[in-house]
Amino acid sequence: MPNRTAFVTGASRGIGLACAHALASAGARVILAARDAAKLEAASAAIPGSTWVTLDMSSQESIKAAFAQAGPVDILVNNAAVTKDGLALRMKKDDWDAVLATNLTGAFLAIQQVMHGMMKERWGRIINISSIVGETGNPGQANYVASKAGLIGLTKSLAQEIASRNITVNAIAPGFIDTDMTAALSDQLKQNMLAHIPLKRFGKPEDVAAAVKFLASEEAGYITGAVLNVNGGMYM
Protein backbone atom coordinates (compact mmCIF):
# COMPACT_ATOMS: atom_id res chain seq x y z
CA MET A 1 0.00 0.00 0.00
CA PRO A 2 2.62 2.58 -1.05
CA ASN A 3 1.49 6.22 -1.09
CA ARG A 4 -1.28 5.43 1.40
CA THR A 5 -1.45 7.13 4.80
CA ALA A 6 -2.69 5.01 7.71
CA PHE A 7 -3.88 6.46 11.03
CA VAL A 8 -3.95 4.00 13.96
CA THR A 9 -5.53 4.88 17.32
CA GLY A 10 -4.29 3.28 20.53
CA ALA A 11 -1.02 2.72 18.70
CA SER A 12 1.50 3.07 21.52
CA ARG A 13 1.25 -0.59 22.58
CA GLY A 14 -0.46 -3.96 22.07
CA ILE A 15 -2.72 -4.52 19.08
CA GLY A 16 -2.47 -0.93 17.86
CA LEU A 17 1.32 -0.97 17.80
CA ALA A 18 1.33 -4.32 15.98
CA CYS A 19 -1.09 -2.86 13.41
CA ALA A 20 1.20 0.13 12.89
CA HIS A 21 4.17 -2.18 12.26
CA ALA A 22 2.16 -4.35 9.84
CA LEU A 23 0.85 -1.42 7.80
CA ALA A 24 4.31 0.16 7.64
CA SER A 25 5.76 -3.15 6.43
CA ALA A 26 3.22 -3.05 3.59
CA GLY A 27 4.47 0.37 2.53
CA ALA A 28 1.98 2.71 4.21
CA ARG A 29 3.02 5.95 5.87
CA VAL A 30 1.78 5.37 9.40
CA ILE A 31 0.59 7.93 11.94
CA LEU A 32 0.49 6.55 15.48
CA ALA A 33 -2.03 8.10 17.87
CA ALA A 34 -2.58 7.62 21.61
CA ARG A 35 -2.59 9.60 24.85
CA ASP A 36 0.97 8.96 26.08
CA ALA A 37 3.47 11.10 24.14
CA ALA A 38 6.55 9.35 25.57
CA LYS A 39 5.31 5.89 24.57
CA LEU A 40 4.29 7.17 21.14
CA GLU A 41 7.69 8.70 20.52
CA ALA A 42 9.43 5.45 21.44
CA ALA A 43 7.05 3.38 19.34
CA SER A 44 7.36 5.65 16.31
CA ALA A 45 11.16 5.57 16.51
CA ALA A 46 11.03 1.83 15.76
CA ILE A 47 8.84 2.27 12.66
CA PRO A 48 10.70 3.91 9.74
CA GLY A 49 8.86 6.82 8.16
CA SER A 50 6.15 6.96 10.82
CA THR A 51 4.96 10.01 12.75
CA TRP A 52 2.80 10.40 15.84
CA VAL A 53 0.13 12.64 17.37
CA THR A 54 -1.36 12.69 20.84
CA LEU A 55 -5.04 11.85 20.91
CA ASP A 56 -7.72 11.48 23.58
CA MET A 57 -10.59 9.52 22.04
CA SER A 58 -13.01 10.75 24.71
CA SER A 59 -12.57 14.37 23.58
CA GLN A 60 -14.06 15.71 20.35
CA GLU A 61 -11.66 18.67 20.45
CA SER A 62 -8.65 16.35 20.78
CA ILE A 63 -9.89 14.19 17.89
CA LYS A 64 -10.36 17.20 15.60
CA ALA A 65 -6.94 18.59 16.49
CA ALA A 66 -5.17 15.26 15.94
CA PHE A 67 -6.67 14.71 12.48
CA ALA A 68 -6.02 18.33 11.49
CA GLN A 69 -2.36 17.72 12.36
CA ALA A 70 -2.32 14.39 10.52
CA GLY A 71 -3.67 15.64 7.20
CA PRO A 72 -5.39 13.37 4.62
CA VAL A 73 -5.89 9.76 5.78
CA ASP A 74 -6.49 6.80 3.46
CA ILE A 75 -6.67 4.03 6.08
CA LEU A 76 -8.20 4.47 9.54
CA VAL A 77 -7.81 1.81 12.21
CA ASN A 78 -10.06 2.51 15.20
CA ASN A 79 -8.34 0.45 17.86
CA ALA A 80 -8.24 2.62 21.02
CA ALA A 81 -10.38 1.27 23.86
CA VAL A 82 -10.78 1.41 27.62
CA THR A 83 -12.49 -0.85 30.16
CA LYS A 84 -14.23 -0.02 33.42
CA ASP A 85 -15.70 -3.37 34.38
CA GLY A 86 -18.40 -3.99 36.97
CA LEU A 87 -21.75 -5.69 37.41
CA ALA A 88 -24.56 -3.77 35.76
CA LEU A 89 -26.51 -3.52 39.02
CA ARG A 90 -23.76 -1.41 40.58
CA MET A 91 -22.20 0.21 37.51
CA LYS A 92 -21.80 3.95 37.89
CA LYS A 93 -23.12 6.09 35.06
CA ASP A 94 -19.69 7.75 34.82
CA ASP A 95 -18.12 4.35 34.10
CA TRP A 96 -20.75 3.62 31.46
CA ASP A 97 -20.27 7.02 29.85
CA ALA A 98 -16.45 6.88 29.87
CA VAL A 99 -16.30 3.54 28.05
CA LEU A 100 -18.94 4.45 25.45
CA ALA A 101 -17.33 7.86 24.88
CA THR A 102 -13.91 6.42 24.02
CA ASN A 103 -14.76 3.09 22.41
CA LEU A 104 -17.82 4.00 20.33
CA THR A 105 -18.44 7.75 20.15
CA GLY A 106 -14.72 8.45 19.72
CA ALA A 107 -14.50 5.93 16.88
CA PHE A 108 -17.48 7.55 15.15
CA LEU A 109 -16.00 11.03 15.51
CA ALA A 110 -12.67 9.81 14.11
CA ILE A 111 -14.48 8.33 11.11
CA GLN A 112 -16.22 11.67 10.52
CA GLN A 113 -12.81 13.34 10.33
CA VAL A 114 -11.62 11.12 7.47
CA MET A 115 -14.81 10.52 5.49
CA HIS A 116 -14.79 13.73 3.45
CA GLY A 117 -11.23 13.19 2.23
CA MET A 118 -11.84 9.53 1.41
CA MET A 119 -15.03 10.36 -0.51
CA LYS A 120 -13.19 13.04 -2.48
CA GLU A 121 -10.39 10.60 -3.35
CA ARG A 122 -12.90 7.79 -4.00
CA TRP A 123 -10.75 5.38 -1.99
CA GLY A 124 -10.63 4.50 1.67
CA ARG A 125 -10.35 1.78 4.27
CA ILE A 126 -12.01 2.06 7.68
CA ILE A 127 -11.29 -0.80 10.08
CA ASN A 128 -12.94 -0.91 13.49
CA ILE A 129 -11.47 -3.18 16.16
CA SER A 130 -14.46 -4.70 17.94
CA SER A 131 -14.24 -7.79 20.19
CA ILE A 132 -15.51 -11.33 20.53
CA VAL A 133 -17.59 -10.10 23.48
CA GLY A 134 -19.41 -7.71 21.13
CA GLU A 135 -20.86 -10.86 19.56
CA THR A 136 -21.18 -13.14 22.60
CA GLY A 137 -21.73 -10.78 25.54
CA ASN A 138 -19.79 -11.04 28.79
CA PRO A 139 -20.98 -10.66 32.38
CA GLY A 140 -19.47 -7.74 34.25
CA GLN A 141 -18.71 -5.81 31.06
CA ALA A 142 -22.06 -4.34 30.01
CA ASN A 143 -20.47 -1.02 29.03
CA TYR A 144 -17.52 -2.52 27.12
CA VAL A 145 -19.72 -5.10 25.37
CA ALA A 146 -22.26 -2.45 24.38
CA SER A 147 -19.47 -0.31 22.91
CA LYS A 148 -17.98 -3.20 20.93
CA ALA A 149 -21.37 -4.41 19.69
CA GLY A 150 -22.11 -0.82 18.75
CA LEU A 151 -18.96 -0.73 16.62
CA ILE A 152 -20.26 -3.70 14.63
CA GLY A 153 -23.57 -1.92 13.97
CA LEU A 154 -21.72 1.27 13.06
CA THR A 155 -19.51 -0.69 10.67
CA LYS A 156 -22.46 -2.22 8.82
CA SER A 157 -24.36 1.07 8.53
CA LEU A 158 -21.38 3.06 7.26
CA ALA A 159 -20.41 0.29 4.83
CA GLN A 160 -23.77 0.76 3.14
CA GLU A 161 -23.60 4.56 3.22
CA ILE A 162 -20.23 5.03 1.54
CA ALA A 163 -19.63 1.92 -0.58
CA SER A 164 -20.48 3.85 -3.76
CA ARG A 165 -17.37 5.98 -3.15
CA ASN A 166 -15.10 2.93 -3.12
CA ILE A 167 -14.63 3.10 0.65
CA THR A 168 -14.81 -0.16 2.59
CA VAL A 169 -15.78 -0.35 6.25
CA ASN A 170 -15.07 -3.56 8.14
CA ALA A 171 -14.72 -4.76 11.73
CA ILE A 172 -12.34 -7.21 13.33
CA ALA A 173 -13.46 -9.09 16.45
CA PRO A 174 -10.39 -10.39 18.31
CA GLY A 175 -10.74 -13.14 20.87
CA PHE A 176 -8.35 -13.55 23.80
CA ILE A 177 -5.21 -11.70 22.71
CA ASP A 178 -2.08 -11.66 24.88
CA THR A 179 -1.66 -7.94 25.69
CA ASP A 180 -1.13 -5.67 28.70
CA MET A 181 -4.92 -5.46 29.09
CA THR A 182 -5.31 -9.25 29.44
CA ALA A 183 -2.09 -9.79 31.42
CA ALA A 184 -3.85 -8.58 34.56
CA LEU A 185 -6.26 -11.53 34.54
CA SER A 186 -5.77 -14.39 36.99
CA ASP A 187 -4.10 -17.65 35.88
CA GLN A 188 -7.29 -19.54 36.72
CA LEU A 189 -9.35 -17.31 34.43
CA LYS A 190 -6.75 -17.67 31.66
CA GLN A 191 -6.80 -21.46 31.90
CA ASN A 192 -10.59 -21.46 31.82
CA MET A 193 -10.51 -19.38 28.65
CA LEU A 194 -7.84 -21.56 27.05
CA ALA A 195 -10.11 -24.59 27.47
CA HIS A 196 -12.66 -22.89 25.21
CA ILE A 197 -10.23 -22.07 22.38
CA PRO A 198 -10.05 -24.87 19.75
CA LEU A 199 -6.58 -23.76 18.59
CA LYS A 200 -5.39 -24.15 22.23
CA ARG A 201 -3.42 -20.91 22.37
CA PHE A 202 -4.04 -17.26 23.03
CA GLY A 203 -3.79 -14.87 20.12
CA LYS A 204 -0.91 -12.49 19.54
CA PRO A 205 -1.27 -8.83 18.55
CA GLU A 206 0.35 -9.80 15.26
CA ASP A 207 -2.58 -12.13 14.51
CA VAL A 208 -4.95 -9.17 14.60
CA ALA A 209 -2.48 -6.94 12.75
CA ALA A 210 -2.31 -9.43 9.86
CA ALA A 211 -6.09 -9.20 9.47
CA VAL A 212 -5.91 -5.40 9.54
CA LYS A 213 -3.21 -5.39 6.88
CA PHE A 214 -5.35 -7.60 4.65
CA LEU A 215 -8.52 -5.50 5.04
CA ALA A 216 -6.49 -2.35 4.30
CA SER A 217 -5.09 -3.82 1.09
CA GLU A 218 -6.21 -3.54 -2.52
CA GLU A 219 -6.91 -7.29 -2.44
CA ALA A 220 -9.72 -6.72 0.08
CA GLY A 221 -11.46 -4.17 -2.12
CA TYR A 222 -14.61 -6.29 -2.52
CA ILE A 223 -15.09 -6.87 1.21
CA THR A 224 -17.20 -4.40 3.16
CA GLY A 225 -19.56 -4.59 6.13
CA ALA A 226 -17.81 -7.75 7.30
CA VAL A 227 -16.86 -8.84 10.81
CA LEU A 228 -13.64 -10.84 10.68
CA ASN A 229 -13.27 -13.08 13.73
CA VAL A 230 -9.68 -13.54 14.93
CA ASN A 231 -10.32 -15.75 17.93
CA GLY A 232 -8.79 -19.21 17.46
CA GLY A 233 -12.26 -20.71 16.99
CA MET A 234 -13.50 -19.53 20.40
CA TYR A 235 -16.69 -18.21 18.79
CA MET A 236 -18.03 -19.29 15.39
Enzyme catalytic residues? 144
**Do residues 144 and 103 make contact, with C-beta atoms less than 8 angstroms apart?**
yes
**Do residues 64 and 36 make contact, with C-beta atoms less than 8 angstroms apart?**
no
Instruction: Residue 15: count other Cβ atoms within 10 Å of its Cβ.
Output: 29
**Do residues 162 and 3 make contact, with C-beta atoms less than 8 angstroms apart?**
no
Whether the CA torsion 117, 49, 24, 99 is positive or negative: it is negative
List Cβ neighbours of 96 (8 Å cut-off, separation of 6 or more).
142, 143
**Do residues 19 and 215 make contact, with C-beta atoms less than 8 angstroms apart?**
no
**What Rg, from alpha-carbon coordinates, does the chain have?**
17
